[in-house]
Amino acid sequence: MINQAKQDIDKNGYLSIDIDPTLDIFAEIQRLKKEKNAILLAHYYQDADIQDIADYIGDSLGLAQQAEKTTADLIVFAGVHFMAETAKILNPHKKVVLPDMKAGCSLADSCPAEEFSAFKAQHPNHVVVSYINCTADIKALSDYIVTSSNAEVIVNSIPKEKGIIFAPDKNLGAYLVKKTGRDMILWDGACMVHEIFSLEKIAKLKLKHPEALLISHPECEAPLLEISDFIGSTTALLKFTQQSTAKEFIVATETGILHKMQLSSPEKTFIPAPPDNSCACNDCPHMKRNTLEKIYLCMQYEQPEILMDPLLIEKSRLPIDRMLEISAKAGL
Ligand code: 13P
Ligand code: SF4
């Protein structure tokens, strides 16, 4: 069984064990949560059924904060690899499992540690600020980790005379340069989901829905952000839709967030911003690798597990702790 499981994880990223089709997976996941003192953390980009069974749903900052304070013995992460890795860094002595090890991130992939290390060496005396969507190796090379919820506050907290390298998202970086007035050196990385929205299709949608507000994630490219009515992290976008008096919204981020928006404002209309391809909406293929079945199996067998070198945990924890400290002080 152990050998088979290892082979499955190496080959597919997840355990491929047949599940009795009559099994009530929702009830089984709830049973396993109690039996193993487990917590199920889910990102807003997960499928609706996963969000509905999670103990906590949130953005990257909220998920890191929950991971830091949990008393659970087993952390089950319905998200992507860098998120589960962050939970492990914050909980070196706990077991952290990810339903599918191949749930990666194009943004994290766009910043290999060796190349980034050489880039950093070209700009000595610069503070390194990295978006949480990066590997633990990049975190270990960073002074501060940020998310889209706290990036502005953290950049503003860095003394004005200090030069800043920002990695890996050039779009969030450019947005922060504009917001903070800081002249940052940007790593050339991007998210595959947020870069493919079609300005032309969005303009047509706006003609059809003249009252709709366009709300966008800062991982989107500058021309889209320039025409947006509101820009923010997934949590900020959700809050905006709850508080706004508008009735229609065109949402330029991954479509998973629409589930919570619709649940909390059933009277409002949410339209996913269309990408520049034949699909009507924009899913993250990494986030969508997780399924209820994979979650059930990884809770039952406690695999695939995030395992890390203790030295890397120690080095990568420092900039995450700084982020959590500044966020707490700012009331985020
Ligand atoms: P937030 O949920 O922190 O806004 O991040 C969005 C994202 O792309 C996560 O992968
Ligand atoms: Fe990475 Fe983009 Fe997917 Fe988020 S949406 S996990 S940034 S590829």
Q: pLDDT tens for residues 225-266?
A: 999 999 999 999 999 999 999 999 999 999 999 999 999 999
Give residue 281's pLDDT: 66
Residue 2 has pLDDT above 90, yes or no: no
* CATH top-level class of 2-105+286-307: alpha beta
Q: Which atom of ligand 2 is nearest to the CA of 82?
A: 6
Ligand closest to Cα of 194 equals 2
Amino acid code (one letter) for 174:
A
Closest by alpha carbon to 270, among 283, 282, 259, 284? 259
Res. 211 pLDDT band, cuts 50 70 90: very high
Q: How many helices (H) and strands (E) does the chain have?
A: 16, 12
User: CA-CA distance, 300 to 296, in Å (whole number)?
Assistant: 6
Q: pLDDT tens for residues 72-127?
A: 999 999 999 999 999 999 999 999 999 999 999 999 999 999 999 999 999 999 99
Q: Are 213 and 248 in contact (CB under 8 A)?
A: yes
Q: Name the residue at shortest CA distance from atom 9 of ligand 1.
A: 60
Give residue 3's pLDDT: 73
Res. 6 pLDDT band, cuts 50 70 90: confident
Q: Name the residue at shortest CA distance from atom 3 of ligand 2.
A: 284
The mean per-residue pLDDT over the stretch 197-216 comes to 97
Residue 222 has pLDDT above 70, yes or no: yes
Fold of 199-272: Rossmann fold (3.40.50)
Copy the structure tokens of residue 292.
């209820």
- Domain 2-105+286-307 shares a fold with domain 199-272: yes
Q: Which residues have CB under 6 Å of ligand 1?
A: 44, 59-60, 133, 147-148, 191, 217, 219, 233-234
Which CATH superfamily includes the segment(s) 107-191+313-329?
A: NadA-like (3.40.50.10800)
Instruction: Give the pairing of strands 213-216 and 230-231.
Output: parallel
Residue 252 Cβ < 6 Å to ligand 2:
no
Q: Are 101 and 9 in contact (CB under 8 A)?
A: yes
Give residue 201's pLDDT: 95
The mean per-residue pLDDT over the stretch 24-30 comes to 97
Please report, rounded to a whole number, the percentage of residues in the chain having pLDDT higher than 90.
95
Q: Name the residue at shortest CA distance from atom 6 of ligand 2.
A: 105
In which order are the strands placed within the sheet that holds 95-97?
56-58, 38-43, 74-78, 95-97
User: CA-CA distance, 2 to 148, in Å (whole number)?
Assistant: 39
Q: Are 55 and 33 in contact (CB under 8 A)?
A: yes
Q: How far is the CA of 130 from the centre of ligand 2 (A)?
A: 15
Residue 1 has pLDDT above 70, yes or no: no
Q: pLDDT tens for residues 31-84?
A: 999 999 999 999 999 999 999 999 999 999 999 999 999 999 999 999 999 999
Q: How far is the CA of 286 from the centre of ligand 2 (A)?
A: 7
Q: Name the residue at shortest CA distance from atom 4 of ligand 2.
A: 105
Q: Are 270 and 249 in contact (CB under 8 A)?
A: yes
Give residue 277's pLDDT: 82
Q: How far is the CA of 218 from the centre of ligand 1 (A)?
A: 9
Give residue 17's pLDDT: 93
Residue 190 Cβ < 6 Å to ligand 2:
no
User: CA-CA distance, 94 to 109, in Å (whole number)?
Assistant: 26
Q: How far is the CA of 302 from the centre of ligand 1 (A)?
A: 26
Residue 311 has pLDDT above 80, yes or no: yes
Give the residue extent of every domain in the chain.
Answer: 2-105+286-307, 107-191+313-329, 199-272
Counting every residue, how long is the chain?
Answer: 332
Instruction: Give the pairing of strands 56-58 and 95-97.
Output: unpaired
Give residue 280's pLDDT: 64
∠ CA 118-83-64 to the nearest 5 degrees? 110
Give residue 233's pLDDT: 97
Residue 80 Cβ < 6 Å to ligand 2:
yes
Q: pLDDT tens for residues 157-185?
A: 999 999 999 999 999 999 999 999 999 99
* pTM: predicted TM-score of the whole model, two decimal places: 0.96
User: CA-CA distance, 194 to 220, in Å (whole number)?
Assistant: 5
Q: How far is the CA of 234 from the centre of ligand 1 (A)?
A: 6
Q: How far is the CA of 22 from the centre of ligand 1 (A)?
A: 35
Give residue 321's pLDDT: 98
User: CA-CA distance, 332 to 5, in Å (whole number)?
Assistant: 40
Burial group, residue 148, by CB count within 10 angstroms (0-12, 13-18, 19+): buried
User: CA-CA distance, 133 to 149, in Å (whole number)?
Assistant: 13
Query: Which residue among 106, 196, 290 is best mutated to probe the pocket of ligand 2, counting the most ligand atoms within 8 A of its Cβ?
Result: 106
Q: Which atom of ligand 2 is nearest to the CA of 191?
A: 2
Amino acid code (one letter) for 93:
H
Q: Are 194 and 266 in contact (CB under 8 A)?
A: no
Q: pLDDT tens for residues 275-286?
A: 988 776 689 999
